[in-house]
Amino acid sequence: MSAPANPLVLRMRPHARSIFAEMSGLARAAGAINLGQGFPDEDGPENIREAAIEAISEGRGNQYPPTQGIPELRQAVADHQKRFYDIDVDPDLGVVVTTGASEAIQSTLLALCESGDEVVVFQPWFDLYGAGIDLAGASLVNVPLSAPDFRPNIDAVRAAVTDRTKIILVNSPHNPTGAVFTRDEMAAIAQIAMDNDLIVISDEVYEHLWFDQHRHVPMATIPGMAERTITIGSGGKMFSLTGWKVGWASGPAHLIAAVRTIRQHLSFASGGPFQYAFAYGLSLPDEYFEGLRLSMQHRRDLLTAGLTDIGFTVNPSHGTYFLTSDLGPYGVTDANDLALWMPEHVGVAVIPLLNAGRAPATPQTLRWAFCKAEPTLVEALDRLRKAAP
């Protein structure tokens, strides 16, 4: 008997492979330290976890919460945007709570793209963008960010816009490169959006993870952009609780209404008790957010120095959980081969950037996650050093 035909719709076949799941699987099988997938190995604040437990015990959010999100969390998101960025968000009509930032992004793409519309994306991109754009029947148009500094090329963005372009998808701080777009770069992208009447999806899940002087600039703070920007946030990323999968989109009422329409037919409602806990988390004083930022900056420094010492050329990371490097001292000349080889022979797993957003501009590059406990990073560096020639 012949094998059954692949039932998966054609447009989604390129998305069958998840490099993150694959590398995490290899890491588990080999007992390797996982610096591939970007999740912290220390859970977020105990008082936020307690708030979720309390909500469950007291019966808050155990049944379907409101589809657009509980009022407390929508208010907390609006207050957060005001406190940190002086952005005005209407908590009733300008926020939708989703199953992670992931669902916020996919709902937005499905809500706004007619089949054949074009979405301009900076490459390398987070793998979910490509899948969401194909799911919507839209077309992805790449604008490469090139090593070592991964700046956006504004002329290339302008050249990428056609009369089919609907959206520019911006992600700063940027996964996987660690680039943080400057105010001038954000303003230049914004100008292109305004000149061509485009919507911007601004994926800001790493908004509190910017380092040194490279402060995050929200797209909606650029004059004229609040009315054409959907800003994406993630409680999982903000509070180191990635398993809770509660995120949100905020923006002008007419755009959020469109996102809500799609989203209510996807998961309908998300993690009730976790919404109460994140509403509490968003009310934490500035020191929490500053502490998270500084601790992640310290880990970046530790990994950057260690890898450099071992013989890697490390590209500067100005934000996120990630940094990128060349292939280092092991004599393997293909990023994919090296990433497959490392868990067993070095005891450390990484992501080949080749597969993260299919990046021909940066083919021989590794992505390292430093959102791990310091002893984990130290042990990983130790293994990398021992395996080096």
Ligand X SMILES: *Cc1c(COP(=O)(O)O)cnc(C)c1O
- Residues lying near ligand X in the complex (CB under 6 A) are found at 100-102, 126, 171, 175, 203, 205, 234, 236-237, 242, 245, 247
Nearer to ligand X (CB atom), residue 225 or residue 246: 246
**Nearest to ligand X by Cβ — which residue?**
100
For the stretch 31-34, contacts whose Cβ atoms lie closer than 8 Å and that sit 24 or more positions apart, written own/partner, are 31/347, 32/342, 32/343, 32/344, 32/346, 32/347, 32/348, 32/349, 33/347, 33/348, 33/349, 33/372, 33/376, 33/379, 33/380, 33/383, 34/349, 34/369
Instruction: Give min distance, CB of 326 to ligand X, in A.
Output: 22
Nearer to ligand X (CB atom), residue 209 or residue 384: 209
Question: Does residue 173 have a cis peptide bond before it, meaning omega lies within 30 degrees of 0?
Answer: yes
- CB 356 within 8 Å of CB 176: yes
Of all helices (H) and strands (E), which one includes residue 201? strand 199-203
Residue in the structure block whose two tokens are 């793998």: 127
Nearer to ligand X (CB atom), residue 228 or residue 367: 367
Nearer to ligand X (CB atom), residue 330 or residue 368: 368
Nearer to ligand X (CB atom), residue 105 or residue 346: 105
Instruction: Give min distance, CB of 237 to ligand X, in A.
Output: 6
Instruction: Give min distance, CB of 342 to ligand X, in A.
Output: 22
Instruction: Give min distance, CB of 230 to ligand X, in A.
Output: 13
Nearer to ligand X (CB atom), residue 17 or residue 164: 17
Instruction: Give min distance, CB of 139 to ligand X, in A.
Output: 20
Instruction: Give min distance, CB of 38 to ligand X, in A.
Output: 6
Question: Cβ–Cβ contacts within 10 Å for residue 154, how many?
Answer: 16
H-only helix segments in 218-361: 235-238, 253-263, 272-282, 286-310, 335-345
